[in-house]
Amino acid sequence: FQITQLLYSAMFGLFFFVVITALIMICARVVKVSRQYLVIVKDQENMPISVKDSMQQSIMERIRKNHEVTKTVLVQALVYFLAFLLTLAFPLIQLVGFHGTHWPYYLELIFTPMQGFFNFLIFLYYKVANYRRMHLGTSTKEIL
């Protein structure tokens, strides 16, 4: 029994490490893109107005939209991670200890099956937000 629990702990730890590493990589990418965006904006402000002004405006608009999408992906990744933590916190609490009480077991029975539901809500929220961004006058009720 102890070997099985040790293997379960090791696999859980490895999976948790992979998820944390991916989240750190996403955050690092967003920070890098944000810094590049700020440098481009500062360079754009220092440039004199020229004939290429409309072309530069369209390029800046595209860069701004890409920057917004990158930030949205970061927030979405963080929310997915929080849903992941919420559903797996109670099995982890059971693994660490608290063998005398049954509340972690009951909460595990409630929250673990709800992980798919949480993921669905997050997915649906961002789909609705994207649709509302494209169609500004549409309410959430009309979309759903």
Give the pLDDT band of residue 32 (cuts 50, 70, 90): confident
Q: Is the pLDDT of residue 51 over 60?
A: no
Mean pLDDT of 9-22: 82
Q: 41 pLDDT exceeds 90?
A: no
139: left (phi over 0), alpha (psi -120 to 50) or beta: beta
- Determine the pLDDT at residue 53: 64
- The whole model's pTM is what? 0.65
**Rounded Cα gap, residues 31 and 14, in angstroms:** 26
Average pLDDT, the chain: 79
Nearest to 113 by CA among 136, 138, 91, 135: 91
119: part of which helix (H) or strand (E)?
A: helix 115-134
Query: How far does Cα 114 stand from its chain's mean position?
Result: 18
Residue whose tokens read 């750190």: 24
End-to-end CA distance of the chain: 49
